[in-house]
């Protein structure tokens, strides 16, 4: 759902970067539009992605409720992809250019394209 308003989106992204740092990760890029975000994060081998995302979603939702007094929650699932070191700069540009990108392609078709390019099987009912 389009819940992330443009007038406070950058504040949310900054706050999420702080959460990631607090969890021991390195936020390399955070961007998105009204209905989703993309994160490029450097993680240690000791990180558990599911725990990091659980904490990131919980803490950022609480921030939106507390600071903005808005009804907000993240979806239950997520998609995660690894990025080779040689692709980091290209992925950063992609993430930081989400508004322009999604003027041409929907979030759903973008996800399907990423899943197919990565050879990941998926069930459309979860998209």
DSSP state of 66: I
Which domains are assigned to the chain?
A: 6-126 (3.30.70.1290)
Spatial distance between the Cα atoms of 52 and 9, rounded to a whole number of angstroms: 20
- Residue spans of alpha helices (H) in the chain: 6-22, 49-63, 88-96, 98-102, 107-117
Spatial distance between the Cα atoms of 29 and 68, rounded to a whole number of angstroms: 23
CB-based contact 36:107 (threshold 8 Å): yes
pLDDT per residue as tens, the chain (127 positions):
888 999 999 999 999 999 999 999 999 999 998 888 999 999 999 999 999 999 999 999 999 999 999 989 998 888 898 999 999 999 999 999 887 766 667 777 878 888 888 888 888 877 7
């Amino acid at each position: 759902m389009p819940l992330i308003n443009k007038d406070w989106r950058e504040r949310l992204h900054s706050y999420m970067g702080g959460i990631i740092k607090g969890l021991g990760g390195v936020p390399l890029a955070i961007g998105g539009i009204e209905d989703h975000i993309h994160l490029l994060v450097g993680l240690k081998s000791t990180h558990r992605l599911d725990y990091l995302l659980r904490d990131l979603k919980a803490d950022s939702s609480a921030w939106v409720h507390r600071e903005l007094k808005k009804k907000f929650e993240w979806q239950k699932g997520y998609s995660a992809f690894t990025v080779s070191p040689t692709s980091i700069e290209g992925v950063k540009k992609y993430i930081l250019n989400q508004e322009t990108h999604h003027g041409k392609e929907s979030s759903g078709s973008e996800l399907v394209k990423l899943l197919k390019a990565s050879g990941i099987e998926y069930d459309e009912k979860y998209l």
